Structure 1
Amino acid sequence: MSYSRSGTAEGPGSIQYLRLQRASSRSDIFPKLIAMQKSLKARNFAVFRIAGAGLPNKRKLVCELDNWATGTLESGQQLINAFGEVMLDHIELSLLPLIWNGSENTAFAEAGEFSPLTRRLGADAVPFSGVAFPVRLGALGNGYVTFLATTLDLSSDVIIDQHVRSCQVMMDLLALDERRSVPAETLSEREIACLQLAGDGRISEEIAEKLGLSVHTVNAYLGSATIKLDSVNRIQAIAKAIRLGYIH
């Protein structure tokens, strides 16, 4: 993690890292998952999120998105029945992807190089092979992006790339949730303009000069935007504004 001259962080979890085009609806997420499915040569995908986080004995996996083939809707429940408890426990301790072989003479394209990057589950528990990429984004953003197939094309580069893409998918879902829960009082054009320039690394004096405002007025706009976005400081407000699509 490094910092720019303006003091903004540059790295995973920073504002610069969040400058990705977020999905505006769930329909925008499906093409991303289909592309990942093709890259892995998988047959189906399913996105599970963890509900009841922080509540003893209440945690459970909930399927948010999937493209199960007609007649195989029970596959999600089979997966949860076989590995649900393991997946819930695993994500608390590790972010290594989980892989398993199915009982229909399925197998992975074996490559010893990716063994240290994954955790292998017991075979024959379900009729299909699969890989589950765990993602932790906080109490509301934890879950797995899973892919199922007769065979899966896995290598160390593929695993790392698809894990990163899985994180982006879960960030999209979390951002959509936040957008739905955003207060009815939306940001004004001036508040958005000030946040955008602040996100670009401009200090209040530079924003004031750019917009023809006083420094006091700029700080007032940034303060009101921070309150509307239910954030604790300017940096968090900028990050949330990016996730919600107000600025880029």
Structure 2
Amino acid sequence: MSDAAEVSEVVQSLFGERQTPFGVSLGRDTHRTVTIPDAVRRCRWIAVDINASGFTLLFSGPSAERPFLAPCFDSRYPGVSAETRLISGEDRFGLVRHARASSVPCVWDDLPGSVSSSSLNALTWTTRIEPPAAGTCGIVFPVHAERGQCGFVIFLGSEITLAPNAMFDIHARCFSLFDAVARMRPGESAKFPSISKRELECLKLTANGYTSEEIARLLKLSVHTANQYLTNTAQKLNAVNRMHAVAKALRMGLIE
């Protein structure tokens, strides 16, 4: 069995006991968070400890056809950083699928020769992924909570310093942080509508100024079908019309 598979097996066995994968109980008082700003401060402390310049916490939506990521907060809180928009704005099926099957952290390196590059490449129990944001280095900690909630705590920067023997403690802190946030927002994942890939394509083209007739021609659909996709999307997003749906989808990171 590989190191990654062994870690994943340990994760699954311990997680059922309401612990982090590293044996730290999620019920401890030290893991209670009262507000989102409290959670942001805790995440910032972790970032300081590993010398990361940015961070983000995201929930994974449950859509089977197109899993997507919805930002909860990042290092620009109450704003949203450009890196978070890039990470959450694309189809991250591979990353979400990984998180649902394993808690092994993922790393990427698009800054050869940087401090982060050397540090992250020295970590053994990790999975390499393509850079979700060009010109960056980062580490992704998959995290889970009750009710099947799944997400990620991500740290970015060019000078990340994370020793292999400290990675498990950092991951444990990320688990407890996500658990606290998920308790504050128990319905976060359920809020994410299950929107099909075709519906999102129609919505994205609408956002780019295309009419129903143009969308139908580009996607080789009938005008009636294109309009139906847009109507469905507006209903799923609880929007009053398609432009309102576009605005909501942009805020949720469903489209760019």
Q: Sort the TM-score into its range (normalised by shorter chain).
A: 0.5 to 0.7
Partner of 1:157: 165
Partner of 2:184: 176
Please say if 1:47 is aligned against 2:57.
yes
Aligned pairs for 1:190-209 within 5 A: none
**1:132–1:144: 8 Å Cα contact kept in structure 2?**
yes
- CA distance 1:81–1:174, change in 2 (3 Å): closer
Q: The residue matched to 1:147 in structure 2 has which SS?
A: strand
How far apart are the structure 1 equivalents of 2:26 and 2:84? Answer: 32
Gaps of 5+ in 2: 1-15, 20-24, 189-256
TM-score by length of 2: 0.56
How far apart are the structure 2 equivalents of 1:148 and 1:129? Answer: 6
- CA distance 1:19–1:138, change in 2 (3 Å): closer
Gaps of 5+ in 1: 1-10, 181-248
Q: The residue matched to 1:109 in structure 2 has which SS?
A: helix
Aligned pairs for 1:123-162 within 5 A: 126-162=134-170
Partner of 1:27: 37
**2:83–2:133: 8 Å Cα contact kept in structure 1?**
no
- TM-superposed deviation, 1:69: 9.0
Amino acid at match of 2:154: T
Partner of 2:18: 13
Q: The residue matched to 1:47 in structure 2 has which SS?
A: strand
- CA distance 1:178–1:149, change in 2 (3 Å): same
How far apart are the structure 2 equivalents of 1:23 and 1:72? Answer: 21
Amino acid at match of 1:47: L
Question: Is 156-165 or 61-70 further displaced after alignment?
Answer: 61-70
- Root-mean-square deviation (CA, aligned residues, Å) is 3.3
How far apart are the structure 1 equivalents of 2:145 and 2:26? Answer: 14
Question: Is 162-171 or 150-159 further displaced after alignment?
Answer: 150-159
TM-score by length of 1: 0.58
- TM-superposed deviation, 1:133: 0.4
Partner of 2:107: 99
Partner of 1:229: none
How far apart are the structure 2 equivalents of 1:130 and 1:100? Answer: 6
**1:103–1:125: 8 Å Cα contact kept in structure 2?**
no
Question: Is 117-126 or 58-67 further displaced after alignment?
Answer: 117-126
**2:109–2:136: 8 Å Cα contact kept in structure 1?**
yes
Q: The residue matched to 1:18 in structure 2 has which SS?
A: coil
**Which one has the largest radius of gyration?**
1
Aligned pairs for 1:33-112 within 5 A: 33-51=43-61, 53=62, 55-68=63-76, 73-80=81-88, 84-103=92-111, 106=114, 107-110=116-119
How far apart are the structure 2 equivalents of 1:28 and 1:69? Answer: 11
How far apart are the structure 2 equivalents of 1:139 and 1:17? Answer: 15
Partner of 1:206: none
Once the two structures are superposed, what CA deviation does each residue of 1:51-98 show, in whole Å capped at 9, x if it has no partner? Answer: 2x2x42142100101014999832112223567222111112211101
How far apart are the structure 1 equivalents of 2:57 and 2:71? Answer: 6
- TM-superposed deviation, 1:163: 0.2
**1:82–1:126: 8 Å Cα contact kept in structure 2?**
no
**1:33–1:45: 8 Å Cα contact kept in structure 2?**
yes
**How many residue pairs align between the two structures?**
167
Amino acid at match of 1:74: A
**1:46–1:146: 8 Å Cα contact kept in structure 2?**
yes
- CA distance 1:125–1:34, change in 2 (3 Å): closer
